[in-house]
Amino acid sequence: MDLRSGVTSAEASLRGARARTETRGCHNRSDFPDLDPALRVNLHQRRRPGGSVDLWPEPLPPISAEIERWIEETPPIEESAGLLE
């Protein structure tokens, strides 16, 4: 059961990563290095009984003005600092 759940989770992550043609957060793609505002969505998926998978985007609500201000005020991370996790 744990293996099946792990494989299902891994497949969902890979399908979502392949569909998200941008770099966002810790999801980094060298072939799509920039942020795409049109992809500010949650990607949902559902497996059909025959085994095929439906994948669809659901838009996220707008960021509040206060949080947007915090984002804008956050200084950039120095490239020499390495990956921040």
Domains held by the chain: number = 1
| Whether the predicted pLDDT of 65 surpasses 60 | yes
| Whether the predicted pLDDT of 1 surpasses 80 | no
Q: What is the mean pLDDT of residues 18-23?
A: 82
The DSSP result for the chain, as a single string, is: -HHHHHHHHHHHHHHHHHH--S-BTTB--TTS-S--GGG-EEEEEEE-TTS-EEEEEEEPPPPPHHHHHHHHHSPPPPGGG----
Segments forming the whole domain that contains residue 6: 2-81
Determine the Cα–Cα distance for residues 8 and 38; give it in Å rounded to an integer: 27
Give 39-64 pLDDT, tens digit per residue.
888 888 888 888 788 888 898 888 89
- Contact assessment for residue 57 and residue 40, using Cβ atoms and an 8 Å cutoff: no
pLDDT of residue 27: 73
- Copy the structure tokens of residue 2: 């744990």
